[in-house]
Chains A and B, each alone.
Chain A
């Protein structure tokens, strides 16, 4: 790109390697940095899930290398129950924070929000750089928790006190490991808050001429609403984390009740409420679920419209549904706590608000189906992932309607039914959104095409795989199989279910193996892939009218002017079946 005009650029094009690729102010570089951080984290989280699945299906298996790395947690390579729990905790934490929160919002959002709205960068480039490096620091601290004395915490990703508040006496990993865990999450909160401010301001104040809110691509709407959720939710988790650290290190009793006897020792705390943590945590935790899934909805809408060659069905309804889901997310946290002894009347209120989420969710689903209806669908790999997203969103959402009934939840709470539900809806659906985005935007981000054939193979193995993994878990839940149990062999009622656990593990290993196909085509395409042209998908939004990859200030010093909505496909009378947002309205003379 060299000396592109810098007239409007908010910062100079960087010179040296460090400024350009490490401490970069450029939203595109930062987006890729976030994406790579998530890619590393997802493989780390997946490795942990291999250990979890191994222990569940074949307890007592010797894994010599584990014994070498973790002589405490896995003496002679055999995992202890505590080690199992610590791997489970870290799997959940790393996946939720460093993959599902990071890749779709901070990764793709950073790269494409400014380009799609016609801005040369995020509103605050320095703050943006800071957000990434603070996130990176948070990941370093989190990973460090695995390797300190005592290992990683065993309190789950929700870190319920008193277990998480008592320190070493309550179990291995609850000393230094748990402290580092809380610290890492607190650092992550700060990074997310900084990022959220940037996203909100960029969307409000940086849009190009003509880019009114109702002309924003649905991806931008999703990132915007997600940023608002993050802004309002992460502060609460940060506060909760501060209080928990105080309980651990300053001798306070916010969450630790009185009269606790742990390991034959009376704990010197009194009067605290473990439920207080649950309220604070889930007030963050439920919006967090939507923080993970909303960007995927945006990407799926974007991709569906592109490859249906149709405007998205009900654009405004889609926007209001996003807002509706975002709004509802703050009213439903109590549905995680039906079993906490809450008043049945309170439970009914939370049940009703939770059921209300079904309305905007159904609007989105029907509008996706409406977009697909009668379309000449192009089954590209990105499209397959978007369709998979819709499928998983429906499957995972429907099981939510079971869990939001307090009476049903009494039975299903903390069983594998819940594990199946949240993996489907927030884990796998969100991952499908990320994959959809990857296959769709890779050509723009890296200037080369991903291999479509191998991409489809990757999709089909993963799609069949995740259903084969998580559908049987629903039945485990019906059978009363509790989650978070390390030892399944010691319970008679679980014995008939051991075969199902083996079946799930085998599919899990297959699906995980298929992810290496993705890794291979990703890195192969990075260096050897077919060169991508400016607009390989014949799409309408602004990212497809800038060069591939985009220059430092995205537009070569000339700001785009937006003339129309984001999804003008198959417009009657237009020469091509797509009209870019930047195409002016002037009618050319017909020859």
Chain B
């Protein structure tokens, strides 16, 4: 069945080959570059690029919240600063620790049992952070601080909630890879999913620190 696509050779004089002919393959910007889809290692790149693109979108999502926060605080006289329960700081430590354990696990990728242990610890720390955040919410509710109380508390719930939703996606990914790794260890060769999830996790960690600084210093 004729599905090949070789076009007929074109009669063309050599001096007319100026456009795009010859040259060293560069980053694929001009000339005959281009990643060459069939080539080795390209499919890996896909997931990395995709993750960075996704993070750009997520960053805009949170930037919108943060700019709304700054604007809304600036024009209100009904803003009652929400004092952060001290548990928030403990949660933050858990999340920071999870980033460290994640890096630890990536360093020992070739040793599957050590990798699994550190990765599991990361997952548990991430889940503990989420549980901790829910407890923070319950403490605030216990103190009579609701989402509708005042704009500061509204933003507190919205920002922590939105971050929590994104982070639970991360915990799910960590758990999923743990499960996959048990069936079929990744090892240091097939490490793209590990690296991509790590990018996401560290981003969420950094994002939380930024939100925390906002919620603490811009009360």
Contact = CB atoms under 8 A, between A and B. Distances in A.
Given A234-B57, A251-B147, A563-B20, A214 B1 contact: no
Nearest to B8: A583
B40 interface: no
Q: Say what secondary structure dominates the interface of chain A.
A: loop
B111 interface: no
Given A231-B56, A236-B61, A559 B38 contact: yes
B1 A210 contact: no
Given A119-B37, A212-B34, A246-B147, A276 B53 contact: no
B75 to A, nearest CB: 6
B36 A209 contact: yes
B76 interface: yes
Nearest to A315: B19
Nearest to A240: B64
Given A213-B28, A236-B61, A574-B12, A547 B3 contact: yes
Contacts of A246: 147, 154, 158
A127 to B, nearest CB: 8
Contact of A573 (B13, B56, B65, B158): B13
Contact of A551 (B3, B16, B31, B65): B3
Nearest to A562: B34
13 contacts: A119-B37, A200-B53, A205-B45, A232-B56, A239-B162, A246-B154, A252-B148, A271-B77, A272-B151, A562-B32, A563-B32, A582-B6, A586-B9
A572 B16 contact: yes
A123 B63 contact: no
Interface string A229-273: 001111110111011001000111110001000000000001111
A252 B149 CA distance: 8
A590 interface: yes
B33 A279 contact: no
10 closest residue pairs by CB, A with B: A556-B3, A251-B148, A239-B64, A235-B61, A209-B36, A235-B60, A271-B78, A573-B13, A212-B33, A575-B11
B78 to A, nearest CB: 4
Contacts of A18: none
Q: Say what secondary structure dominates the interface of chain B.
A: loop
Contacts of B17: 585
B151 A580 contact: no
Contact of B53 (A207, A231, A585): A231
Interface stretch (A1-9, A148-156, A372-380, A418-426): A1-9
A587 B38 contact: no
B16 A571 contact: yes
A209 B13 contact: no
B189 interface: no
B207 interface: no
Contacts, number: 236
A565 B18 CA distance: 11
Interface string B43-54: 001100110011
B16 A201 contact: no
Given A123-B50, A251-B147, A279 B71 contact: yes
A184 B29 CA distance: 39
Given A253-B151, A565-B20, A2 B37 contact: no
**For this complex, into which size category does the number of interface residues on chain B fall?**
35 or more
Contact of B57 (A1, A2, A196): A196
Contacts of A4: 1, 3
B64 A207 contact: no
Given A201-B53, A204-B49, A583-B9, A209 B72 contact: no
B45 to A, nearest CB: 5
Given A276-B68, A564-B20, A214 B158 contact: no
Given A215-B20, A240-B64, A242-B162, A118 B37 contact: yes
A232 B53 CA distance: 9
B35 interface: yes
B60 A236 contact: yes
Interface residues of A, number: 86
A273 B75 contact: yes
A576 interface: yes
Nearest to B66: A239
Contact of B64 (A8, A197, A280, A555): A280
B85 to A, nearest CB: 20
A422 to B, nearest CB: 23
B46 A576 contact: no
Q: Which of B9, B21, B34 has the most CB of A within 10 A?
A: B34
A253 B154 contact: yes
A29 interface: no
A209 B61 contact: no
Given A200-B49, A252-B154, A588 B11 contact: yes
Contacts of A280: 64, 67-68
Given A119-B37, A214-B29, A271-B151, A565 B19 contact: yes
Contacts of B50: 123-124, 197-198, 200-201
Given A8-B38, A124-B46, A273-B71, A587 B12 contact: yes
Contacts of A207: 28, 34-37
B10 A239 contact: no
Contacts of A279: 67, 71
Given A212-B28, A213-B30, A236 B35 contact: no
A64 interface: no
Nearest to B12: A574
Nearest to A590: B11
A238 B61 contact: yes
A4 B26 CA distance: 33
A283 interface: yes
A250 to B, nearest CB: 5
Contact of A211 (B13, B34, B57, B76): B34
Interface in A211-226: 211-215
A209 B7 CA distance: 16
A344 interface: no
A280 B62 CA distance: 12
B183 interface: no
Contacts of A215: 20, 30, 34
Contact of A276 (B2, B72, B148): B72
A208 interface: yes
Contacts of B60: 231-233, 235-236
Given A123-B46, A270-B78, A562-B32, 16 more contacts: A197-B53, A197-B54, A210-B33, A212-B28, A212-B29, A212-B34, A215-B30, A240-B68, A243-B65, A547-B3, A556-B1, A560-B5, A563-B32, A574-B16, A579-B12, A584-B10
